Amino acid sequence: MEKIETAVRNAVIRGTGHYIPPTVLTNADLERMVDTSNNWIVERTGIRERRILNGDREWGTSDMAVAAARQALADAQMDPSRLEAILVATVTPDFPLPSTASIVQLKLGASRSAVMDVVAACAGFIYALSVARAFIVSGVYRNVLVIGVERLSSITNYQDRNTCVLFGDGAGAAILSRGEPGEEDKGILSTFLSGDGQYKDLLHIPLGGSSVPLTAKNVDQPGRFIYMDGREVFKLAVREMADAAERVLAGAGVSADDVDMLIPHQANQRIIEALGKRMNFGPDRVFVNIDRLGNTSSASVPIALDEARRSGRIGPGSLVLSVAFGGGLTWGAVLYRL
């Protein structure tokens, strides 16, 4: 069901943070693993390298999430004990049970907060931010930690050139808090979420869930990794992200010209350019880091948001539009003023 919401009370972004693992996987590395070339990858995707959580470091998804969350808490000057809810958007949880949010809570020392994971693939952070905002504007919680984190390298088939050149690992986090008096102009102005299950097989992992559990017979099959029909996803991505963006602009009564920075999901340089062109955003108003990080799914928007803030490309008062698209299919947009 589609629904547009506009702010009644406001939820402001108090702090942001991110973590990217130190190990770099370059296009040259991939040339040695599958039948591909640096030229093909750069021309078709814009990606030059991506970061991978190296196996010799005993870290999982929750550790990257905690590193990003600590930065966001420091930025917001907030003690973890003040968090009332922790939402973790991920399709690569530490374990099927419990939620990664529970593990993040423990490692952060944020006991007694509500904890839950949000599963919406690359649109996960947009979904989680919208849920957090709904909690805050309805008066349920005052301070919510929202994390987008993925260890996509754990579900990527490094023998499939269609997908392995795209994905990377990382985490981004934001602290969302109820606005104080005088902050009425700040915060999330409007959100839009949507999805369409008829496209579920365009981007999926066929094996390993309760429907087709892993067995000794199928454990070596490629179906336990991500499968993507990239061409079909590409077409739908541009159309639906542009539609979602228009809806949140209309929901807040502003035009694309008013937006200081578009921070889109980093799936493909050509998708980002097509979106920018359709909405009349020049490169100076579009944040891109896909060349360095690849597609980090739900982590991509919060990493980009934090990098944009820390590099000074956006700051207090900036009007920012974030839009994402991913498996499900799911998509959505959020318009916010810092």
Question: What does the DSSP 8-state code read for residue 179?
Answer: P
Q: Is residue 48 within the footprint of ligand ACO (CB under 6 A)?
A: no
Binding segment for ligand ACO among 81-89, 207-215, 233-241, 282-290 (CB under 6 A)? Answer: 233-241
Report the candidate in 287, 334, 48 with the shortest Cα–Cα distance to residue 168: 48
Beta bridge partners of 299: none
Contact string 212-231 vs ligand ACO (x = CB under 6 A): ------------------xx
Question: What does the DSSP 8-state code read for residue 297?
Answer: G
Q: Is residue 98 within the footprint of ligand ACO (CB under 6 A)?
A: no
Q: Is residue 122 within the footprint of ligand ACO (CB under 6 A)?
A: yes
Closest distance between ligand ACO and the C-beta of residue 323, in Å? 12
Six-digit token string for 329: 């299919």
Which is catalytic among the residues 10, 27, 265, 268? Answer: 265
Q: Is residue 294 within the footprint of ligand ACO (CB under 6 A)?
A: no
Q: Is there a catalytic annotation at residue 204?
A: no
Binding segment for ligand ACO among 41-49, 108-116, 132-140, 281-289 (CB under 6 A)? Answer: 41-49
Q: Is there a catalytic annotation at residue 295?
A: yes
Six-digit token string for 297: 């799914």
| Residue pointed to by tokens 């099927």 | 96
Give 136 or 164: the residue with its C-beta nearer to ligand ACO. 164
State the angle between helix axes of 38-45 and 269-279 in degrees (0 to 180), rounded to the nearest 10: 20
Contact 321, 178 (CB under 8 A): no
Give 53 or 144: the residue with its C-beta nearer to ligand ACO. 53
List C-alpha distances in Å: 279 to 255, 262, 306: 10, 10, 23
Beta bridge partners of 145: 86, 175
Residues in Cβ contact with 104 at an 8 Å cutoff, skipping those fewer than 6 apart: 62, 65, 66, 69, 86, 88, 110, 115, 145, 147
Binding segment for ligand ACO among 37-45, 171-179, 210-218, 242-250 (CB under 6 A)? Answer: 37-45
Give 9 or 235: the residue with its C-beta nearer to ligand ACO. 235
Name which position in 90, 99, 102, 297 contacts ligand ACO (CB under 6 A): 297
Closest distance between ligand ACO and the C-beta of residue 200, in Å? 12
Contact 20, 54 (CB under 8 A): no
Which is catalytic among the residues 122, 143, 164, 268? Answer: 122
SS3 88: strand
Closest residue (Cβ) to ligand ACO? Answer: 230
Six-digit token string for 262: 């578009």
Q: Is there a catalytic annotation at residue 27?
A: no
Question: Which residues are near ligand ACO by CB under 6 A?
Answer: 36, 40-41, 44-45, 121-122, 161-162, 165, 203, 230-231, 233-234, 237, 267-268, 271, 295, 297, 325-327
| Catalytic site positions | 122, 265, 295
